[in-house]
Chain A
């Protein structure tokens, strides 16, 4: 009886020893996939937003139809292009030949400053739209030295440079 009980304990200990690294690997795969998905949807939203901006330059205006864009309308386009994005934690940077402006995506929405402004919206000029978002992940608490209760936020960033077409 004594011997059999010992064996059973061994199996349990072995099972636990094998399960812990397996679970870590599984969680790692899930977390990295989640981060990759977030990065990809943000990169796509940034590309679409830059495309929206470059087809709304100075030459876009025809007749009574005006194409002028503001920081707010650009940000609204990005929110629509990536509905699952965390708008309150994404930092959006818009760069044109006349300088750059940075704001939090949800706060950008109410910004009525024209962008790209004046002659920087002339076709042929380059603009860059870039976004940075912190990713909350439990993975970082397994990094040696980080401490079990610390959740650091690695950033993901995506940017798109395009030339104003119209």
Chain B
């Protein structure tokens, strides 16, 4: 240990092993952020798809309810017209065939005597609850509720 060369080599080896440890610690610090970023993008993608599906579903339901005075307040019928728009959402698919109750989707149609243009109209409100793919307490909610309302003049 009195020789310079030995002492130098020894410290050099120690430093290298330290640096390797630091890289591992740095990776451990960075990975959760990358993971949360990925999970956030993933959930956000589903959320924006659910938003579009809810809007499309409400429009399709309103096209049906506004087709006649008898269908203007037909919530059950409106549900069957809104459902196809939700096919690819994770908690919908083929297994949900009715709205309301415990289903993540509710469709409510009401008949309005006087709509925006003072003519009979039908109003449809579609409310959908999307389950988060990867809920993180305090960061990402386990479910999001989206609501969309469409009013159309009855033919």
Same complex origin of A and B:
yes
Complex CA gap A126/B84 in Å reads: 14
B143 at the interface (CB under 8 A from A): no
* Contact residues, A1-47 vs B (CB, 8 A): 25, 36, 39, 47
A163 at the interface (CB under 8 A from B): yes
* Contact residues, B34-86 vs A (CB, 8 A): 38, 49, 56, 60, 63-64, 67-68, 71, 80-81, 83-84
SS of A interface (majority): strand
A158 at the interface (CB under 8 A from B): yes
Report the minimum CB–CB distance from A87 to chain B (whole Å).
21
Complex CA gap A48/B37 in Å reads: 36
A162 touches B68 (CB 8 A): no
Interface residues of B, CB < 8 Å — how many? 16
SS of B interface (majority): helix
Chain A, 128-162, contact with B by CB distance < 8 Å: what is the 0/1 string? 10100000000000000000000000000111111
Q: Could you say which of A25, A47, A157, A162 contacts B87, with CB atoms under 8 Å apart?
A: A157
B155 touches A165 (CB 8 A): yes
B68 touches A124 (CB 8 A): yes
Q: Which residues of B contact A86 (CB under 8 A)?
A: none
Q: Which residues of A contact B56 (CB under 8 A)?
A: 47
Q: Which residues of A contact B68 (CB under 8 A)?
A: 124
B88 touches A161 (CB 8 A): no
Report the minimum CB–CB distance from B148 to chain A (whole Å).
16
Size bracket, chain A contacts = 10 to 19
A124 touches B67 (CB 8 A): yes
A39 touches B155 (CB 8 A): no
A123 touches B67 (CB 8 A): yes
Complex CA gap A161/B60 in Å reads: 8
* Contact residues, A97-144 vs B (CB, 8 A): 123-124, 126, 128, 130
Q: Which residues of B contact A128 (CB under 8 A)?
A: 84
A158 touches B63 (CB 8 A): no
A162 touches B64 (CB 8 A): yes
Complex CA gap A47/B155 in Å reads: 20
Residue of B nearest to A157 (CB): B87
Complex CA gap A157/B71 in Å reads: 28
Report the minimum CB–CB distance from A154 to chain B (whole Å).
12
Q: Could you say which of A36, A39, A165 contacts B67, with CB atoms under 8 Å apart?
A: A165
Write 14 A-B pairs (CB below 8 A) sorted by A numbering.
Answer: A25-B38, A39-B88, A126-B81, A130-B84, A158-B84, A158-B87, A159-B84, A161-B60, A161-B80, A161-B84, A162-B64, A162-B81, A165-B63, A165-B155
Give the A-binding residues of B (Cβ under 8 A): 38, 49, 56, 60, 63-64, 67-68, 71, 80-81, 83-84, 87-88, 155
Give the B-binding residues of A (Cβ under 8 A): 25, 36, 39, 47, 123-124, 126, 128, 130, 157-163, 165
- For the complex with contacts A36-B49, A160-B84, A161-B83, 10 further pairs of A-B residues with Cβ separation under 8 Å are A124-B67, A157-B87, A159-B87, A160-B60, A161-B60, A161-B80, A162-B60, A162-B64, A163-B71, A165-B63
